[in-house]
Amino acid sequence: MPSSCPKCRRVLEEDEICCAQVRYTWRCKSCFKLTTGFAIPYGKCFMCGGELEVIPQRDMGDSMRFQAIRDAVQFELNSFHFYKLARDHAKTPDQRAVLERLAAPDMARRLVLSQDPRLGYFVTVYTGLRAWRSHDFNTPFVALRQAELDRFFATGQEVPEWQRRPLVVLLDDTGGRADAGRFGSAGFSPVATYGHYTILERPAS
């Protein structure tokens, strides 16, 4: 017997959903994340909590030739905006500047040795890089790794694994405890300084 589609209310001859395959596209007004799906969005953006808006009559097309390109571009946009959100969680402008610099493409695939434990955690969460010592609960052998960092910043002694990897060193000169000059003999070169933080880098051996 005739009925109406529960989605678009069109009158149908049989009980069915006539527009089950209709896709909706919406984006966040804050971080501009673009999402496509079969359901109309509700609530807030899952990335930043911003307001969502539906983009009407946006035909994504059925050709699979462009699917990989769309996915790749969207992934980069998602990553970019996610890393930008880190600035809201950093406590100081200097920390925000360090995180933004480390999220740049030329810093990719580096291992981070941070003298500031909080920045070591933020780096892992918000920049796509890996820190030798991050949060207590997601760093293996955390006490050992912290001791290795303390020894490195005090004496320059390195873990053999570091020699094979491109490194970024985050020096924290709070209280005059960092000496960027002595790292030059170990192959490190300066990248930038933000307040009492100095970023150094060294390519893999």
Residue 33 pLDDT: 73
33 and 54 in one domain?
A: yes
Sequence-distant (6+) residues with CB within 8 A of 44 are 50, 51, 52
Distances from the Cα of 136 to the Cα of 64, 112, 167, 180, angstroms? 44, 16, 21, 27
The alpha carbon of 134 is separated from its chain's Cα centroid by a whole number of angstroms, namely 15
Per-residue model confidence as pLDDT tens digits over 145-167: 999 999 999 999 999 999 899 99
β-sheet bridge partners, residue 170 = 114, 199
Rounded to whole angstroms, the Cα distance separating 170 from 115 reads 6
- Contact indicator for 122, 95 with CB cutoff of 8 Å: yes
Residues 130-140: tens digit of each pLDDT: 999 998 888 88
Tell me if 149 sits within 8 A of 132, measured CB to CB: yes
Q: What is the pLDDT of residue 40?
A: 58
Return the pLDDT at 3.
63
User: Which pLDDT value is given to residue 83?
Assistant: 56
Crossing angle of helices 67-85 and 93-102, in 10° steps, is 160
Provide the domain limits for residue 189: 92-202
Q: What is the pTM of this model?
A: 0.59
Residue the block writes with tokens 């030059």: 184
Contact 202, 180 (CB under 8 A): no
Last residue in a domain, options 32, 56, 86 = 86
Domain boundary among 35, 65, 86: 86
Are residues 65 and 132 both part of a single domain? no
- Residue closest to 131 by CA, chosen among 140, 120, 122: 120
Domain count, the chain: 2
User: What is the per-residue pLDDT for 145?
Assistant: 95
Q: Mind giving me the DSSP string for 38-90?
A: SS---SB-TTT-PBEEE-TT----S-GGGHHHHHHHHHHHHHHHHHHHGGGT-
150 in the same domain as 82: no
pLDDT of residue 65: 59
Residues 41 and 96 in one domain: no
* 74 and 132 housed in the same domain: no
> What's the confidence (pLDDT) of residue 142?
92
State which residues of the chain have pLDDT below 70.
1-24, 36-42, 46-47, 57-67, 69-70, 73-89, 175-178
Residues 102 and 160 in one domain: yes
Q: Which of 86, 110, 144 is the last residue of a domain?
A: 86
Residue 38 and residue 99 share a domain: no
3-class secondary structure for 129-145?
A: CEECCCCHHHCCCHHHH
Provide the pLDDT for residue 188. 94
